Amino acid sequence: MDECIVCHEPLGKFEKIYAGLGHLFCSKTCAAKHLVETVEPQTLAEYAVTGCVEEVTPDEIGIDKVVVCDWCGLDFDDGQLTKTDLGMLCDRCIAAIRSRGEEVIIIDDGGYNYGNE
């Protein structure tokens, strides 16, 4: 006889049962109990989040892409950083590195130029 993995009640007794995580449960309470007992709190929290939020890309909902300068770690709007041999750098970092007498090589990837607006 199939039974709830948590409380061992026969599953045939219930109108609705719950299947998931490779097991059958008689109720959400038992399913939750199983999760709490067997899954790491962090993973558990992630399951909860997955259940109540939807995955979207920032782009889809009109949020501008933010890029991070590889040197100063500050956030910039997409297109404001320059691709160099040292990574994606902001103008200030490029100027700072050059002012120290070091070379920064700008990498031209296919001629696409965002310009300096």
Q: How far is the C-alpha of 64 from the C-alpha of 75, rounded, in Å?
A: 12
30 touching Zn ion, by CB under 5 A: yes
Beta bridge partners of 77: 66
Given the DSSP bridges, would you call strands 82-84 and 87-89 parallel, antiparallel or unpaired? antiparallel
Total chain residues near Zn ion (CB under 5 A):
10
Query: Closer to Zn ion at the Cβ: 22 or 111?
Result: 22
31 touching Zn ion, by CB under 5 A: no
Query: Closer to Zn ion at the Cβ: 71 or 84?
Result: 71
26 touching Zn ion, by CB under 5 A: yes
Please report the DSSP string for 18-35 in residue order. Answer: EEETTEEESSHHHHHHHH
Enumerate binding residues for Zn ion (CB under 5 A): 4, 6-7, 26, 30, 69, 71-72, 90, 93
